[in-house]
Structure 1
Amino acid sequence: MSSVVPFPPSVPSATAGLPPIVRVDPADQVGVALRPLVPGEVLTVDGGALAVIDPIAIGHKIALAPIAIGDDVRRYGWPIGRATQAIDAGRHVHSHNLATKLSGEEPYRYDPAPVIAPVAGRTRGFRGYVRSDGSVGTRNQIWVIPTVGCVGRTAQRVAMAAAKASGVDDVLAFAHPFGCSQLGDDLDGTARVLAALACHPNAGGVLLLGLGCEENQLSALLERLPPERRDRVRSVGAQLSADEYGDAARAIAELGEIAGADRRSEVGLDALRLGLKCGGSDGFSGLTANPLIGRAADAVTAAGGTAILTEIPEMFGAERLLMARARDEATFDRLVTLVNDFKRYFLDHGEPISENPSPGNVEGGITTLEEKSLGAVQKGGRATVTDVLGYGEQVRRPGLVVLEAPGNDAVSTTALAAAGATLTLFSTGRGTPLGSPVPTMKLATNHGLATRKPGWIDFDAGAVLEDGLDVTAAALLDRICAVASGEPARNEINEEREIALWKRGVTL
């Protein structure tokens, strides 16, 4: 007869073995299977026997007590939906008997909760590139940024030709399909993100490559850059140039001479800007990798650094946890507006706000958006929410920052980089090779993924279930500092470094 224990387990599996089920909060009526459960198996729950009735896959939920039709079902101590039928103890709890309660915009009341301030652990730091504006890069690269999709391939060819000749870490091109046939706020969003990327501390130099006839004019984009950044930026207009490849090569050579003189120096964790992301989530995301990322975010913010949390639709159902940690009422109001505006964005397009989770999420054990959100927001740890940024805005103050962007992996990782993240932590239970302009460390939620896809995974967060959060977080922080100091992340080794822009308007 096996036991069900609260999370995290207090006994390492090396001595006692993991239990078959994890219950996150004592109020939860469901547990999560750490291994497949078979009908007829008997578990011990709250001192009594629980017979497994249905086959339950790893990462999926089992009812620990009877649940009446219409009752809230809790996981993480919060409702993750409502039972659509009576559920006997021992039954599989999933999309066949559990549905979301989310519907639309909601009223929120400013009711700040006592914030448990993260405590800084042992002193850590990394070797980074200190820029003239005080920001610190984890890389020293030259970025080629096209103003418009028409010269996206040209930008890639320019970067490939220059990559071996430059004295910097790398020369990278970030092609995209936009910059023309856009209007108003949609065009402004594209220009804002590209300008923000041109100011990124990981870019020791930037070449802006324009066409000439596009809506996103090169001259207007240059005007968006602060004066102190322009000595690290060159531009080439392809239509006006007799030889755009030669002009681009000369511009990159100039930038290479400037950036090639930069050197790494010792800095503290206060200099790190950490992007927080999840994708291809499963039933373990909220048990292992996301809480682990939260510990890393806490360590960085406690040291005076910045952690950036985005994917606003994957906060629906858990947003109050973040709102209660707003630094003041003005920050709370901005967060409320951001959440409700995003819900209105769905509704105005005739879409339910609860369409998430994805098919892969559902197969991995996540049933409702509330469940996904409650696991996802754990990436933000326990720090105070110090600021709320619009899409394309850059970080203004340290602490935990909430950034406007959708859940889409490519769009949100790009938004994190544009906001200033110099390294991104990306949890995944299903696996993905996707990368962003900055080192994008993939944390596997389970041992199986880490073993099966070692070419994608930077860190096995499944160790949380064996060693606990504190021990595993210490190991993760060491790895973060190594990557921030120049050790390549898997996305860099695999040359998975792309951008994707959020297209929200009409196309001409």
Structure 2
Amino acid sequence: MTAEQKPGCSIHLPEATVTEQLKVLQVHPRDNVLVALQPLVAGQSLPEPYAMLTAASDIPAGHKVALKPIVAGEAVVKYGFAIGKATADIAAGAQVHSHNLATALSGTIDYQYAGCQAQPLSFPAGLPHKFQGYRRANGKVGTRNELWIINTVGCVNRAAMRVAELARKEFAELLDLPNIDGIHAFTHPFGCSQLGDDLSNTRELLAGLIQHPNAGAVLILGLGCENNQLAKLLQASPDVEPQRIRAFNAQQVEDEVEQGLAAVGELLAMMAQDQRSACPVSELVMGMKCGGSDGLSGLTANALVGRIADLVAAANGKVLLTETPEMFGAEQVFMARAQNEQVFHDLVQLVNDFKQYFIDNQQPVYENPSPGNKDGGLTTLEEKSLGAIQKGGSAVVNQIIRYGKQATLPGLTLLEGPGNDAVSSTALTAAGATLILFTTGRGTPLGFPAPTVKISSNSNLAGRKPQWIDYDAGGLLRVGQDATDFTYEFFRYLVAVASGQRTRNEISDNREIAIWKNGVTL
């Protein structure tokens, strides 16, 4: 991306460019490629207004078609920005993919602050401005009232899981109450043999979960001899009611499972008094995530989530976006929307630190697209990143936070984290997300502590995997579909989820956490 291409806001799916036959899409007027929305057959004429073009070969859905001849070395443009350079001459109507397109990214970039170019946002009339949430003593609002069991170290994983399993049976009557949403143990293999920043990251991540407003109460189970000492973990978790916490080391009690069950009974008795109440949508904290992207993700699901991000930011709620490597090649989109020069420099540092992390581990910085991404039509990191950042909408970037930290400001926050689905979604939860919006073009059953709304980029996936997918963004490509109406319908659905409607991951009980291990192990 050149200096002249630095945008002031992210790109959304244009509402007037979907052809009647829904075969192809030109995402932006500057693009020299089209996206096949349905498979194209060799020799097939494209629909109006591209009838002068003929598909030169079979082209799968989600893949790119040259809108005009592109010479070797010329920029290939999608979303209005260069996504790489042609490695060979490409004829109009030919497929554009890994065989004739490569990244143009290399080396370092000299970023320059040019002021905040984001446009003001407003929350539209007619949309719900309240949801039914659980307001905690510290002022935070949860979308669920669950009892979470967190362990300091992997040595007591089985004990934590055993307590959860037995508690669900022993306290079944309490769990039938409409205001108690479940008992869940979130186990992990770390906490021992860790040092320095690696240990601190684990501790802060767990502390973020302990202080999460969806946890009406928390049982913390330690061992006693681990590096991640229970006392220090409690010190790192000050923003929670002390009476809502029970904690002990297994080495210091006679039977850790019996002790855990007794603690759960006490905590559930308190939670039984909690009630949902009307809370403004400014109390929503949404984490935006994509996994298993395809060539339609940036056009449908991610663009839809970006529109939701703008609504939440306009309402003064919090929007969290992570996956730092999936900003590479498109980071200047966010830099152009930094609230001030300090936020700009924080973002530059975040990006450069993550690039250095790749370099230190002798990994290429600009080779991110996975085999699944490429099968779905994505070719270069620029293309993947420009599609991925659609989830951030067009709001001002108000805050940059590091892994394990919690968001404190309304609006859009960028959170340090890798692209790994489980690690980044756990980081979003620990940073305060009470709903996670997870877009996917390939599908996954994964779920996390916060309700995880799965949004498919294409209707085929939604039809094949209804047990995974909550919402089909492929509907955006229907003939005559108004993108604004579609977004408002989705927002109303999200308000219902925040008020207690269960997601597919909750119904299937797919919940887990994963911690970013980035240091030595003793």
- TM-score normalised per structure 2: 0.93
Give the whole-Å Cα distance in 2 for the aligned partners of 1:106 and 1:211: 47
CA contact 2:64–2:96 (8 Å) conserved in 1: yes
Instruction: State the 1:253 CA deviation.
Output: 1.2
Which residue of the partner structure matches residue 152 of structure 1?
157
Give the whole-Å Cα distance in 2 for the aligned partners of 1:57 and 1:478: 34
Give the whole-Å Cα distance in 2 for the aligned partners of 1:341 and 1:106: 13
SS at match of 1:400: strand
Residues 136-215 of structure 1 mapped to structure 2, 5 A cutoff: 136-164=141-169, 165=171, 166-167=174-175, 168-215=180-227
Cα pair distance change 1:343/1:259, threshold 3 Å = same
Cα pair distance change 1:103/1:11, threshold 3 Å = closer
User: Which ranges in structure 2 are unaligned for 5 or more consecutive residues?
Assistant: 1-11
CA contact 2:17–2:26 (8 Å) conserved in 1: no
CA contact 2:288–2:437 (8 Å) conserved in 1: yes
Give the whole-Å Cα distance in 2 for the aligned partners of 1:447 and 1:47: 24
Cα pair distance change 1:503/1:11, threshold 3 Å = closer
User: Which ranges in structure 1 are unaligned for 5 or more consecutive residues?
Assistant: 1-5
Residue 346 of structure 1 pairs with residue 349 of structure 2? no
Instruction: State the 1:152 CA deviation.
Output: 1.0
Partner AA of 1:117 in structure 2: P
Match of 2:69 among 66, 70, 74: 66
1:434-480 Cα distance to aligned partner (Å, 9 max, x none): 01101000001111001010000000101111213211111111110
Residue 8 of structure 1 pairs with residue 14 of structure 2? yes
Which residue of the partner structure matches residue 232 of structure 2?
220
CA contact 1:45–1:64 (8 Å) conserved in 2: no
Instruction: State the 1:229 CA deviation.
Output: 3.1
Partner AA of 2:449 in structure 1: P
Residues 8-47 of structure 1 mapped to structure 2, 5 A cutoff: 8-10=14-16, 17-43=20-46
1:237-258 Cα distance to aligned partner (Å, 9 max, x none): 1011101111111111111122
Instruction: State the 1:44 CA deviation.
Output: 5.7
CA contact 2:447–2:505 (8 Å) conserved in 1: yes
Give the whole-Å Cα distance in 2 for the aligned partners of 1:417 and 1:326: 23
Give the whole-Å Cα distance in 2 for the aligned partners of 1:218 and 1:304: 36
Instruction: State the 1:355 CA deviation.
Output: 2.2
Which residue of the partner structure matches residue 396 of structure 1?
408
Give the whole-Å Cα distance in 2 for the aligned partners of 1:459 and 1:495: 18
CA contact 2:13–2:300 (8 Å) conserved in 1: no
1:83-118 Cα distance to aligned partner (Å, 9 max, x none): 111111111100111111222432210013431222
SS at match of 1:118: coil
Cα pair distance change 1:18/1:10, threshold 3 Å = farther
Which residue of the partner structure matches residue 476 of structure 1?
490
Residue 319 of structure 1 pairs with residue 325 of structure 2? no
Partner AA of 2:236 in structure 1: R
Give the whole-Å Cα distance in 2 for the aligned partners of 1:199 and 1:403: 18
Residues 282-297 of structure 1 mapped to structure 2, 5 A cutoff: 282-297=294-309
Which residue of the partner structure matches residue 3 of structure 2?
none
Instruction: State the 1:228 CA deviation.
Output: 4.5
Give the whole-Å Cα distance in 1 for the aligned partners of 2:64 and 2:239: 55
Give the whole-Å Cα distance in 2 for the aligned partners of 1:405 and 1:52: 40
Match of 1:435 among 444, 447, 469: 447
Match of 1:463 among 468, 475, 492: 475
Which residue of the partner structure matches residue 231 of structure 1?
243
Cα pair distance change 1:134/1:18, threshold 3 Å = farther
Residue 242 of structure 1 pairs with residue 254 of structure 2? yes
CA contact 1:104–1:344 (8 Å) conserved in 2: no
Residue 406 of structure 1 pairs with residue 418 of structure 2? yes
Instruction: State the 1:11 CA deviation.
Output: 8.6
SS at match of 2:53: strand
1:409-430 Cα distance to aligned partner (Å, 9 max, x none): 0000000000000000000010
Which residue of the partner structure matches residue 498 of structure 1?
512
SS at match of 1:112: coil
Residues 111-130 of structure 1 mapped to structure 2, 5 A cutoff: 111-121=114-124, 122-124=126-128, 125-130=130-135
CA contact 2:138–2:239 (8 Å) conserved in 1: no
Give the whole-Å Cα distance in 1 for the aligned partners of 2:445 and 2:240: 35
Give the whole-Å Cα distance in 1 for the aligned partners of 2:91 and 2:119: 37
Residues 289-308 of structure 1 mapped to structure 2, 5 A cutoff: 289-308=301-320
1:139-187 Cα distance to aligned partner (Å, 9 max, x none): 0001000000111121111111112414521110001010011111001
Give the whole-Å Cα distance in 2 for the aligned partners of 1:438 and 1:18: 39
SS at match of 2:270: helix
Give the whole-Å Cα distance in 2 for the aligned partners of 1:246 and 1:47: 70
SS at match of 1:42: coil
Q: Percent identity?
A: 53
SS at match of 1:248: helix
Instruction: State the 1:10 CA deviation.
Output: 3.6
Instruction: State the 1:227 CA deviation.
Output: 5.9
Match of 2:349 among 324, 337, 346: 337
CA contact 1:10–1:468 (8 Å) conserved in 2: no
Residues 269-284 of structure 1 mapped to structure 2, 5 A cutoff: 269-284=281-296
Match of 1:488 among 488, 502, 508: 502
CA contact 1:117–1:382 (8 Å) conserved in 2: no
SS at match of 1:188: helix
Partner AA of 2:135 in structure 1: V
SS at match of 2:217: strand
Match of 1:450 among 454, 462, 470: 462
SS at match of 1:28: coil
- TM-score normalised per structure 1: 0.96
Cα pair distance change 1:72/1:11, threshold 3 Å = closer
Give the whole-Å Cα distance in 2 for the aligned partners of 1:90 and 1:40: 9
Give the whole-Å Cα distance in 2 for the aligned partners of 1:7 and 1:479: 21
